[in-house]
Structure 1
Amino acid sequence: MATTLKNRSWRLSAAALLLSFSAQAQAPEAAATPAGMSGQEMLFWVLVSLLGVLVLALVLTGILIVVQLRPQLRKVYEMPTVRPSWSGKVLGLFVGDPVLLQGRVRDEIMSGHDYDGIHEFDNDLPPWWKMGFYGTIAFAAVYLFYFHVADAGQLSQAEYETEMKQAALLVSVGSDDPNKLTDFQPLTAAADIGAGKSLFATNCAPCHGAAAEGKVGPNLTDEYWLHGGEVNHVYKTVKFGVQGKGMVAWKGKLSSKQILQVSSYILTLQGSKPANAKEPQGEKDPTATKIAMR
């Protein structure tokens, strides 16, 4: 019986290998190598494919052997010295007894554990659950040693700081960086303030009002600011907008000089007290000052 099974297994393995080699032999010898793949890479994947076919053949052979030997394995499993052992429980998986995964159900009442007619039985916890629990303990010990004793890995805060540093390298450090405040001085020339006034009337008045008294947007004439009232803060708000608040970004629609002109004009309106001014929003900004035109 064993000799017959061995012969069958070797025949299956040999047949699988012959099929794989014949498939390779039937491929045209002058076939072009796929674009972007070198000869060594092609050879590597061929070897991996052959290994996969060999492993599959061995698995199928093992399954065939287990199916053919199942009656004999059942007799071995039923032996009193084999069944309770760990190897016997593994053997039980091949003969249809999942005790290794489910545990044994003994239904034996524990003495003194009887509450209102409800009995507690002393059954095993499922072995898969216990192995998972022990696995979490082992993982916690490895984690503690790796991250807190050996300091070999980064904790979440360190990972965050590293990622932020890496992201900063990808962002321009110039005036187009929304995280870096510019250092412009407000414009005070009449021509610049006039240009800013015209830009405000065309682009900003629909939301902030013709006199910046506030409509959908906030009042820009009082001393309260949502995003800062110094000229560079106003410049940043106008240029990049405020996501989720309805303030659109004017970058790409207005030039840098135009944005600075309208930002400077807004600061000339401080304390103008227009009619029907909207209630203050935000906080006072001590750096915000009114600009006087020259």
Structure 2
Amino acid sequence: MLAQRQLLLIATGLLAGHAAAAQAAETPAPAKAAVMSEQEILFWVLLGLLGLLLLALLFTGIIIVTQMKPQLRQLYDLPRVHDTWSGRVLGLLVGDARLVRGDVRDELLDHNYDGIHEFDNDLPPWWKYGFYATILFAVAYLGFYHVSRNGGQLQGAEYAAEMQQAALLVATTSDDPNLLTTYQPLTVAAELSTGKGIFATNCAPCHGASGEGKVGPNLTDEYWMHGGEVNHVYKTIKFGVTSKGMVAWKGKLSGKQILQVSSYVLSLKGTKPANAKPPQGEKEIAGKAMAKL
């Protein structure tokens, strides 16, 4: 009896040790901290040295200007230097800000209006040069975007190009709203009958029992807000239009059911039900959209 108990304890210990080992094996190892490569370390070291060099040059320049300020002042006061553009730049170093604020003469002009006098002072040069820069920018912009044939794209063309690029980045799967299907409308009576039942259950509360339109638009005329071809109707039903309250039926109806109800919706064209809602959207003729007058 004692031997059996010892064997039972040994077996229990072995099982517990095996379970603990398995649990330890399943526990993921802690992630190692990200370590910068030698190139990254060298880049930051060089960037730091460049910053220190620029600071040293700045302080050196400040010390030189401070020590040579009397000599620079004498040079600035020379008549052939004082009124030149380079002289005005030199004036910034000796405390004269004419290059920035312009000449301030404080001379009154010989006219006034309602007690308001006008001084004969220059506009600040930075303001004038900034204004000239806006003129040059406007001419360049007009030539590049509106005159040149190989110039930049305007807002509408740029948006269209970006949307095309975005469509290429989206996976072209059955759940891609940018991918239009290539279905043909169903014409078999049984399929249309099934679509009618789906419409009565899910669509009639917004579009009316006969498609005459209630909260949603009228589905029996020639006007469509998101396209009246079967694949456009299929896309509208599947993905919805949340901004206009149209529910997305993807995941609630199968692809075949969406095609059935889409085909039934197209079969309502020209039925002219009572109390039909006024047309909305664009008129489609022979596959082309025409704006409603």
Residues 218 and 277 in structure 2, CA contact (< 8 A), matched pair in contact too: yes
Shift of the 135–247 alpha-carbon distance from structure 1 to 2, 3 Å rule, reads: same
Distance 1:57 1:257, change over 3 A: same
Task: Tell me which residue corresponds to 2:128.
Answer: 130
Counterpart of 1:169 in structure 2 is 168
Tell me the equivalent position of 1:247. 246
CA contact (8 A) 2:101 2:125 kept: yes
| Residue 187 of structure 2 is aligned to residue 188 of structure 1 | yes
Deviation at 1:61, TM superposition (A): 2.5
Q: How many residues align?
A: 253
Letter in 2 for 1:106: R
Rounded to whole Å, the distance in 2 between the matches of 1:230 and 1:86 is 70
In structure 2, the CA distance between the partners of 1:265 and 1:159, relative to structure 1 (3 Å rule), is closer
- Cα 1:200–1:44, aligned 2, differ >3 Å: closer, same or farther? same
Q: State the one-letter code of the partner of 2:191.
A: D
Instruction: Indicate yes or no: 2:102 matched with 1:103.
Output: yes
> 1 CA distance for matches of 2:120 and 2:248?
69
Partner of 1:58: 57
Secondary structure of the 1:244 match is: helix
Give the conservation status (yes or no) of the 8 Å contact 1:182–1:232: yes
Q: How does 1:138-217 map to 2 (within 5 A)?
A: 139=137, 153-156=151-154, 159=158, 162-171=161-170, 178=177, 181-217=180-216
Structure 1 residues not aligned, in runs of 5+: 1-33, 289-294
Shift of 1:128: 0.8
Q: TM-score, normalised by structure 2?
A: 0.66
Instruction: Give the match's secondary structure for 2:82.
Output: coil
Residue 56 of structure 1 deviates from its aligned partner by 0.7
Instruction: Assess if the C-alpha contact under 8 Å between 1:241 and 1:247 holds in 2.
Output: yes
Gaps of 5+ in 2: 1-32, 288-293
Q: Distance in 2 between matches of 1:260 and 1:83?
A: 85
Letter in 2 for 1:207: C
Deviation string, structure 1 residues 109-128 (Cα, Å, up to 9, x no partner)? 557x6666655443222111
What SS does the corresponding residue of 1:279 show, helix, strand or coil?
Answer: coil
Of 166-175 and 213-222, deviating more is 166-175
Q: TM-score, normalised by structure 1?
A: 0.66
- Which residue number corresponds to residue 266 of structure 2? 267
Q: Are the structure 2 counterparts of residues 60 and 244 from structure 1 closer, same or farther at C-alpha, using a change threshold of 3 Å?
A: same
Aligned to 2:89: 90
SS in structure 2 at match of 1:105: coil
CA separation of 1:167/1:101 partners in 2, compared to 1, >3 Å: closer, same or farther? same
